[in-house]
Chains A and B, each alone.
Chain A
Amino acid sequence: MSSLSRDEVAKLAALARIEMSEAELVSLSSQFGSILDAVARVQELNLEGVKATSHPQPLENIFREDVVQPSLTPDQALSGAPAQEDQRFRVPQILGEAE
C-alpha cells in the first residue's frame, strides 16, 4: 500500500506554488494511497529495453522565415492583466525576497 504523508503533500504543494489549507493537505494525503497504488501498476511489467514515447508523433523542429507577422497590440496583450503600468504588466515584488 503506497502512501504520501501530510508533510510530503505540503512539500509538493509548495513546489507547485499552491498554498493549501490544513484540511486539504490531510484530505489529499488520505486519497493518495489508492491513487498511487493504481498508477504504480506501470511498474509491474518488465520494461527493460522498451523505448519511451513522450509524444505520439515524431517531433521535429519547425522553422519559419524570420519575418515580422501581425501580432497582438500592447493594449490587447495587456487586456487581461490583473494590474498594469506604463504599458507593462505590474507584478508584486520579485527581488529581495530571500533577504
Chain B
Amino acid sequence: MIKNTAAQMSAALEKGETTSVELTKLHLDRIAAIDPQVKAFLHVDGDNALKQAAAVDADRASGKKLGPLAGIPLALKDVLAQEGVPTTAGSKILQGWKPPYDSTVVAKLKAAGVVILGKTNMDEFAMGSSTENSGYGPTFNPWDLTRTPGGSSGGSAAAVSAFEAPLAIGSDTGGSIRQPAALTGIVGVRPTYGAVSRYGLIAYSSSLDQVGPFGRTVLDTAMLHEVIAGHDPKDATSINAAVPAVVAAAKLGDVKGLKIGVIKQLQGDGYQSGVLARFNESLDILASLGAKIVQVDCPSFEYALAAYYLIAPSECSSNLARFDAMRYGLRTGDSDGASAESVMNATREAGFGREVKRRIILGTYALSSGYYDAYYGSAQKIRTLIIEDYKKAFTQADVLVSPTSPITAFKIGEKSEDPMAMYLADVATIPVNLAGICGMSLPAGLAEEDNLPVGFQIMAPAMQDQRLYQVGAALEAALVSKWGGYLISNAPALGGAK
C-alpha cells in the first residue's frame, strides 16, 4: 500500500478498502523502520497525525463530502509554521520554537483533510543544495545513502522517494524543490510566484521564494498543487486569479502540436553525459508523441547564477535581521548588564550556521554604500534581461525544457567545503525564480554511468502552470510504460527494510 500513488490511496479510501488511520500507521511504521538511515524528518508528529486521520475517517463514515486528498499522509518542510508543532527552518536559532499560528499552506492542508506526518529536514533557512547545511545533520539519498538528496527541500524529497510519505511540501527559491526532486527520482513543482501563499513561510529571499508540491507522479503532484494554491489576502504578493486547472491537465497529458523549446544555454559544458543522454531521450519521446522541438536562445542566462547569488543574499541579509533574540528563538549572552546589541551579536553567532552567515555577509556587502550599484543594482538589471529572454522564448514555444540539474546526486561532503561548486548545482533552475515563472522536474530515468536519477525540467509562463502538467503527464506516461512502473518503484531497497 505505501508504494501506491496518492491517487490510488485516495481511490482505496473512497471505496472503503482502507482507512486513513491504517494508511497513517503504515507510514509511521515505515518512518520508524527506515528514517534512522534516511533522516528525512526533523520531527515526527505521530499522535497528531493519527488524530487527524481518525477525524477524517469519522467524517467519511458520516457521509460527509471529502476532497480527493482527505486522509492522505504528507511530509511538511520545516520552513512552514504549524501551530504548536516545532518549526526550525533547519536552524539552531529556532530550536524548540512552536509557532502560535498556522501558515496558510498548513491551514489549507488541514481543511482538505491531509494528514501531516511531521516536519522534514532542510538546509538552514533553505540556503543550500544538499541538505548538508541543516543545523541538525544531513539527510541521505534513499537511492544511495552515501549521497545527498539535493536541497534545500532534501528531507521532503527523500521522504517521498523512500516511501515514508506519498506527498510532500517544499519551497523553491533557486531550485530547492526541482533539484532534490531530480536527485531522488520524483516529481516536484515550483508554482508561479504568487500562486501559493507565503504567509507563515519563513522567509529567505522574498522576491524568489515559493512553496510547492512533491509527488511520485505528475497527477499526485497536481492534486496537491490544487489544494495549496489560491489567493490569500494575508500575502500581499499573492495573485488574485483562478488556480490553473492543473489536475485536468495532468489527466489530459497530451503534447500533439505543442512547441517545446530547448534552451541552448542550459546544456553542454558542466552537464554530466548521462544527464544529457536521458534529456535527449525524453526529447525524442516528446517528438514521437507529436510535439515540435525547437531550439531557443536565452543569452542572459549565462549571468543568472551571478545575479541570483547577489539578489538572494541581499534579501536574506535583510529578512534574517528578524532573528534578534528578543521576541522568539534563541537568546544567549543575556547576563546582568549585557546590552541588547551584545546579546544579538552572541545569539546570531551561536544560532546561525556557516552558510547562513556567509550569505548574510555577502548580502550586507552587496547592499553597502559604494558597492550597491555595482552588485545589487547590476543583478537587478540582469534580472530584467532574463525576464525578456523568457518572454521572447515563449513566443517561439509553449513550454521550455532543460535538464533540471547538471549532475546526478553527489556524495555527502563532496561540495560542502567549496561554496562555488555547490552554487553551480542550481545553474539550470535559478532562471525560473528570477523571472517568477513556474517549473517542474520529473524523472527522466537513470544516468548510465552511475545508475542515479536524472530530472527533466519543464518551464511555462506565469500562471500557465497547467502546461507543465500537460507536458509532464504525456512524457511520464511514455517513460513509465517503458520502465514498467514509476522510477522509484525500481529503486534499490534500503538495508533491513521491506
Task: Report Cα–Cα, A41/B419, bound state, in Å.
Answer: 17
Q: What string of 1s and 0s marks CB contacts (under 8 Å) between A1-45 and chain B?
A: 000100001001111111111001000100110110011111111
Closest residue to A97 on the B side, CB-wise?
B339
Neighbour of A19 across the interface among B98, B307, B346, B419, CB < 8 A: B346
**B327 and A52 contacting across the interface, CB-CB below 8 Å:** no
Main secondary structure of the interface of A (DSSP, over half): loop
**B327 and A24 contacting across the interface, CB-CB below 8 Å:** no
Closest residue to B329 on the A side, CB-wise?
A80
**A39 and B384 contacting across the interface, CB-CB below 8 Å:** no
A25: shortest Cβ distance to chain B, in Å?
A: 10
Neighbour of B303 across the interface among A4, A21, A45, A92, CB < 8 A: A45
Main secondary structure of the interface of B (DSSP, over half): helix
Is there a chain B Cβ closer than 8 Å to A62's Cβ?
A: yes
Task: Report Cα–Cα, A64/B240, bound state, in Å.
Answer: 14
Number of interface residues of B (CB under 8 A): 73
**B435 and A42 contacting across the interface, CB-CB below 8 Å:** no
Number of interface residues of A (CB under 8 A): 52
A46: shortest Cβ distance to chain B, in Å?
A: 10
Q: Which of A40-81 contact B (CB under 8 A)?
A: 40-45, 47, 50-57, 59, 62, 64, 72, 76-77, 79-81
**A42 and B382 contacting across the interface, CB-CB below 8 Å:** yes
Q: Which of B419-433 contact A (CB under 8 A)?
A: 419-420, 423
A82-B330 contact in complex given A56-B207, A92-B339, C-beta closer than 8 Å: yes
Contacts of A56 in B (CB 8 A): 193-194, 207, 387, 434-437, 462
Contacts of A51 in B (CB 8 A): 381, 384
Closest residue to A61 on the B side, CB-wise?
B236
**B384 and A28 contacting across the interface, CB-CB below 8 Å:** no
Q: Which of B367-410 contact A (CB under 8 A)?
A: 368, 374-375, 377-385, 387
Is there a chain A Cβ closer than 8 Å to B317's Cβ?
A: yes
**B384 and A91 contacting across the interface, CB-CB below 8 Å:** no
**A47 and B345 contacting across the interface, CB-CB below 8 Å:** no
Most chain B beta-carbon contacts within 10 A, residue among A13, A18, A35, A54: A18
**A93 and B340 contacting across the interface, CB-CB below 8 Å:** yes
**A42 and B307 contacting across the interface, CB-CB below 8 Å:** yes
Closest residue to A52 on the B side, CB-wise?
B380
Neighbour of B327 across the interface among A43, A76, A81, CB < 8 A: A81
Neighbour of A57 across the interface among B377, B379, B436, CB < 8 A: B436
Contacts of B194 in A (CB 8 A): 56-57
A-B contacts at CB below 8 angstroms, number? 170
**B328 and A18 contacting across the interface, CB-CB below 8 Å:** no
B387: shortest Cβ distance to chain A, in Å?
A: 6
A16-B317 contact in complex given A35-B419, A81-B327, C-beta closer than 8 Å: yes
**A15 and B364 contacting across the interface, CB-CB below 8 Å:** yes
**A42 and B328 contacting across the interface, CB-CB below 8 Å:** no
Most chain B beta-carbon contacts within 10 A, residue among A42, A57, A72, A92: A42
**B378 and A43 contacting across the interface, CB-CB below 8 Å:** yes
Neighbour of A80 across the interface among B97, B233, B239, CB < 8 A: B97
Contacts of A55 in B (CB 8 A): 207, 237, 436
B252: shortest Cβ distance to chain A, in Å?
A: 28
Neighbour of B384 across the interface among A19, A44, A50, A57, CB < 8 A: A50
Closest residue to A21 on the B side, CB-wise?
B349
A residues in contact (CB < 8 Å) with B: 4, 9, 12-21, 24, 28, 31-32, 34-35, 38-45, 47, 50-57, 59, 62, 64, 72, 76-77, 79-83, 89, 91-94, 97
Can you show 12 pairs from A to B with CB atoms below 8 A apart?
A: A9-B361, A18-B349, A39-B375, A41-B306, A42-B382, A44-B303, A45-B385, A55-B436, A81-B328, A82-B325, A92-B338, A94-B339
B residues in contact (CB < 8 Å) with A: 97-101, 193-194, 207, 233, 236-237, 239, 300, 303, 305-307, 309-310, 317, 321, 324-331, 334, 337-346, 348-349, 352, 354, 357-358, 360-362, 364-366, 368, 374-375, 377-385, 387, 419-420, 423, 434-437, 462
